[in-house]
Amino acid sequence: MFQQIKNIDTAFRQVRTFSLVVILANVAFTCFYAYQSEQRVNRAEDRVLILLNGKVISAISSSRKDNLEVEARDHVATFHQLFFNLSPDEKVIKEHIIKALYLADQSAKHAYDNLQEKGYYAGLIAGNISQSLQVDSVKIDTRGYPYPFRCYATQQIIRQTSQLSRTLITSGYLREVIRSDNNPHGFLIERWITLENKDIQTTQDLNHEQ
């Protein structure tokens, strides 16, 4: 009789152990399945369908962190090109400056007001002078916030009889803001200053002199 009871107790323990193993296995499978499902949903959400020229193209979205430096450099370059690429046309100058000022704080507006007061833009129009800017490089330090940057560029001032090349080095900080149509990168340039802007070469227009 005691042997029978012992066998029943052993069988009960075995059933209990088996049941516990089955339950743990089910819990582990459920957790694994839920994790895989979440991963598939995330991958699906990252995939974006773009309609281009009547064709649907699949693209993968990425987080802001993945492209932080690329977007920051492009923001700085875009601002400088808008601010310094000028034609001897008052309407064009205003359009460029307005777009540029959406990308920066009052430090850029202050620089524009100073140039305006000195008659710089009026001189471009009166002298039929064009101005262009080539951004050579932009250095961004993302270890601190707001992100400090330095922009290195070459400025071309084109007159009727000559072309003047100037170096341009500026610095400032980038703060993250909400993206908008006027500020697609979602950055704002702060404490923008010019460190260097000096002549490096003047080329005479020989054809015009003849």
**Does the predicted model carry a pTM greater than 0.75?**
no
Tens-digit pLDDT profile for residues 127-138? 999 999 999 999
Residues 6+ apart with CB under 8 A from 62: 46
pLDDT in tens, 155-207: 999 998 899 999 999 999 999 999 999 999 999 999 999 999 999 988 876 45
CB atoms within 10 A of CB 142: 13
Beta bridge partners of 149: 140, 172
CA geometry: angle at 66 spanning 171 and 142, to 5°? 30
Any idea which of 23-27, 100-104, 129-133, 158-162 has the lowest mean pLDDT? 23-27
**Rounded Cα–Cα distance for residues 135 and 78 (Å):** 9
CATH topology of domain 65-209: Nuclear Transport Factor 2; Chain: A, (3.10.450)
Return the residue matching tokens 């090349």. 165
* Cα–chain center distance at 204: 39
DSSP codes of every residue in 21-40 = HHHHHHHHHHHHHHHHHHHH
Quick one: pLDDT at residue 23? 78
Domain boundaries, the chain: 2-48+54-58, 65-209
pLDDT at 107: 97
* 71: CB partners within 8 A, 6+ apart: 64, 185, 186, 187
